[in-house]
Structure 1
Amino acid sequence: MAGFKTLDDIGNIDGKRVLLRVDLNVPVADGKVTDATRIERIAPTIAELSGKGAKVILLAHFGRPKDGPSPEFSLEPIAKASAKVLGRPVGFAPDCIGDAAASAVAAMNNGDVLLLENTRFYKGEEKNDAAFTEKLAANGDIFVSDAFSAAHRAHSSTEGLAHLLP
């Protein structure tokens, strides 16, 4: 298929900040993930990127928060479950843009994995807002989508980033 690149097409990613869009809409009850299948499905991509020395920065939405940040829609419990599935630490940033995200990304070592907070905490995500997309892109050098189930959505973290980052 012309136009679609694969991980093999990226080249040397050692030390690169890779924004990896994943699907983490997993069931959570009492703050614990009850089915980690979607996390298991992204594990090979994370392992490949990390193994090649990339700083793997996970982007995802979770649920449908109405008015900004809400503890029930936080990705923090999913970061903990991801660490168990991956068998390695997964950092968590309490925001997907701004200083909190930038600081967490800056602290990463090659091969580290970091989950940024829920992109849907911002209205700009679903509107595919250019300014919001640029803020997301500021934390990455390369964009990889491994969220086929969300690929039909013209959101900042699915469609917008593909226009700003290789």
Structure 2
Amino acid sequence: MNTIKYLALPLLAVSLVMTGCANRKPTTDANVTTTPSSSVNTSGLSEDAALNAQNLAGASAKGVTEANKPYLAKRVVHFDYDSSDLSNEDYQTLQAHAQFLVANANSKIALTGHTDERGTREYNMALGERRAKAVQSYLITNGVNPGQLEAVSYGKEMPINAGHNEAAWKENRRVELNYEAVPPLLK
């Protein structure tokens, strides 16, 4: 009986991680770039993330300053190989998003964790989740209401760069910040 219990726990954990992706709609085109009329940098974002970044309907200027605009325009945080530690370069970006989210209680954001192609699907789902949760934890620590955040992992399933080298893998190790309600107005 104890053997069954110990075998069931890892299976249950893997299934819970995998069900986190079930409610997220996959994208069809990973090569979306910034349009000339936009002030939001969407290079490196999936199609859904780019559309969310461009969607200014209902956008808010509250919590947006000239100093934090460049950081709010950045919607991707990158990670080192096999790591979920935030880099020093990303703290200002995440701090700007935290300030905006605190000032706009109706804003909601999906934090989608991604990995490079190396490793098993199960391992990468868990690593993508750790990355999304690291960003989520930082935002909550800086005053953001947890109800405004959703952390999801796609693992290695949605690469931005389909290459099989270090440059491609570096681009794919990321968390995207996708505003689902009331994005920052950056114009």
Task: Give TM-score scaled by structure 1 length.
Answer: 0.40
- Which one has the largest radius of gyration? 2
